[in-house]
Amino acid sequence: MPIAAVRPKPRILSMEEAASVGVTYVTAWLCVMEVAQAQAGKTLLVIGATGGVGSAATQIAKWKGLRVLGTVRRDSDRNSVQQSGVDVVINSETKVSSKKYYLDCCIKYSLHT
């Protein structure tokens, strides 16, 4: 986590409350920036883009200039993940859902960025 991102704890929050505020963003940061070593212009697949960590990962990735593919389980979630910045939404509950399907989507959209 960059030192510039560290802020004092608000007085109105307990230590427990303050400790839980950034958990999703710290997890997403570690995944996107440390593990995936995301770079502008690359494509990132976010499985579970509707969840807390998925949403945070999407925001971090877009901030860093990545194209984001995001999975959802329901078509009703499509609009919310698109509003959070997902470029391509993949419904993981479709009949064609499989590892090959994800790989095909990743290759298809990675090659077109």
Residues facing residue 69 across a β-bridge: 45, 88
Q: How far apart are CA 81 and CA 58, in angstroms?
A: 9
Q: Exposed (0-12), middle (13-18) or buried (19+): which is 40, by Cβ within 10 Å?
A: exposed
In which residue are the tokens 């078509």 written?
75
Please tell me the pTM assigned to this model: 0.71
Q: How far apart are CA 33 and CA 95, in angstroms?
A: 32
DSSP 89: E
Map residue 71 onto helix, strand or coil: strand
* pLDDT for residue 20: 79
> Token pair for residue 90?
């993949």
Per-residue pLDDT of the chain (113 residues; tens, 9 = 90+): 677 777 788 899 899 988 877 788 888 888 898 888 889 999 999 999 999 999 999 999 999 999 999 999 888 998 999 998 999 998 877 755 555 665 666 555 554 44
DSSP 6: -
* pLDDT for residue 113: 44
In which residue are the tokens 């697949």 written?
45
